[in-house]
A and B are shown apart, each in its own frame.
Chain A
Amino acid sequence: MRVATPRISLEIQRYRPEQEQEPILQAYEVEYHEDWVVLDAINHIKDHMDGSLSYRWSCRMGVCGSCGMMINGEPKLSCATFLRDYYPASIRVEPLANFPIERDLVIVLDDFMEKLTKVKPWILRDQEKPLSEGEYRQTPAELARYNQFTLCINCMLCYSACPVYALDPHFIGPAAIALAHRYNLDSRDQGGKWRQQVLSSEEGIWACTYVGTCSVVCPAHVDPAGAIQQAKLTTTLDWFRDVLLPWSGR
């Protein structure tokens, strides 16, 4: 006698603007495999059950940051979330919270891209050295200062988890601030003064109330909340220096 393969139910949010006024949940039942992640189940649905389902994914190994989704209400990478952690209960899959929905599980990420560009997350120099002078050298200790903040994969889970971003979409947000901080800490960079205009504005670091959920959900352990607190301290010290020693001429 054949033993029936166990099955698990996924409730996936659908939004097809030509068909629905508002997003709806659609249930799919798939085979349950202990080694499947939620993305495997969704790929199975797409390939064998419903080709119209839209979502983003690429690497399947937690590196590309494309497959972020709300899984049972929590922002997670669907490639790193195992079915076995939910089985036999059903799993609810929705697009990342706090972003407009383009279609099904696909969000509009223009706002994030714009904020990312605003903080200029690349090495800025007052004047580039000529090539003949060689590379910009750095010690392991100088690398260690910012290394953790380079691990961001731009998956936007932190924006989905951030209650401040949910209340005020103008907030620059955890990942963009962490990346700005990463370049400010880089010994090769001289762009702190340009980034500071964005970082120290009301929509920058000061909007953060240190709830810390960004660091909790971050799959790359970047600790954006820590970056924001460090940036607050640096900015405060600079502020006092400007006020108390205005002639120091930064």
Chain B
Amino acid sequence: MARTSEPFWWFLFIGGATIAALFVPVHIVITGAASWLGQAFEYERVLNLASHPLGKLYLFVLISLPLLHWAHRFRFTVVDLGLKANKRVVAVACYGSAMIGSILAAIVLVGL
């Protein structure tokens, strides 16, 4: 019996944690070092990479899962800080923001 949706959000949370811990730092380093990497990271080449369907899917996962990870963590932080009475509102606001962010990312990616 599915009693609560909590396992679903937690699954996205740990998925996002894995992406945020393993992949996001790699991207920060690559983006930071892009100007030294020269030709390989020229705008046109990166745009081509990002426009490929697999590139889009990868970027979507890279953006949306860490956002959902943030939402889960922020939700519990806010509740721990004292917003206990409005638990449901906090959950909707946090997951809602992450979903809006994911949808915006999807729109931008589809438009590439």
- Whether B54 sits at the interface, judged by CB under 8 Å, is no
CB pair B4–A240 under 8 Å, yes or no, is: no
A167 to chain B, nearest CB (A): 6
CB pair A242–B2 under 8 Å, yes or no, is: yes
Interface of B is mostly: helix
Cβ–Cβ < 8 Å partners of A240 in chain B: 7, 11
The number of A-B residue pairs with CB atoms under 8 Å apart is 35
CB pair B6–A200 under 8 Å, yes or no, is: yes
CB pair A201–B11 under 8 Å, yes or no, is: no
Given contacts A236-B10, A236-B11, A240-B11, contact A200 B3 (CB under 8 A): yes
A250 to chain B, nearest CB (A): 9
Given contacts A201-B3, A242-B2, contact A206 B80 (CB under 8 A): no
Given contacts A200-B3, A202-B4, A243-B2, contact A167 B10 (CB under 8 A): no
Taking CB atoms and an 8 Å cut-off, the chain A residues in 1-60 that contact chain B are none
CA–CA, A202 and B5, complex, Å: 10
CB pair A209–B80 under 8 Å, yes or no, is: yes
Given contacts A242-B1, A242-B2, contact A235 B7 (CB under 8 A): yes
CA–CA, A250 and B73, complex, Å: 31
Task: Give the bracket for the number of chain B residues in contact with chain A.
Answer: 10 to 19
Cβ–Cβ < 8 Å partners of A232 in chain B: 7, 10
B6 to chain A, nearest CB (A): 4
Most A Cβ at <10 Å: residue of B2, B3, B4, B7: B7
CB pair B4–A201 under 8 Å, yes or no, is: yes
Cβ–Cβ < 8 Å partners of B3 in chain A: 197, 200-201
Cβ–Cβ < 8 Å partners of A206 in chain B: 4, 6, 10
Cβ–Cβ < 8 Å partners of B84 in chain A: 167-168
Taking CB atoms and an 8 Å cut-off, the chain A residues in 168-184 that contact chain B are 168
Closest to A236 in B: B7
- Whether B41 sits at the interface, judged by CB under 8 Å, is no
B110 to chain A, nearest CB (A): 27
CA–CA, A202 and B8, complex, Å: 14
Q: List 19 A-B contacts (CB under 8 A).
A: A163-B80, A167-B84, A200-B3, A200-B6, A200-B7, A202-B4, A206-B4, A206-B6, A206-B10, A232-B10, A236-B11, A238-B7, A239-B2, A239-B7, A239-B8, A240-B7, A242-B1, A242-B2, A243-B2
Chain B residues within 8 Å of A, Cβ to Cβ: 1-4, 6-8, 10-11, 76, 80, 84
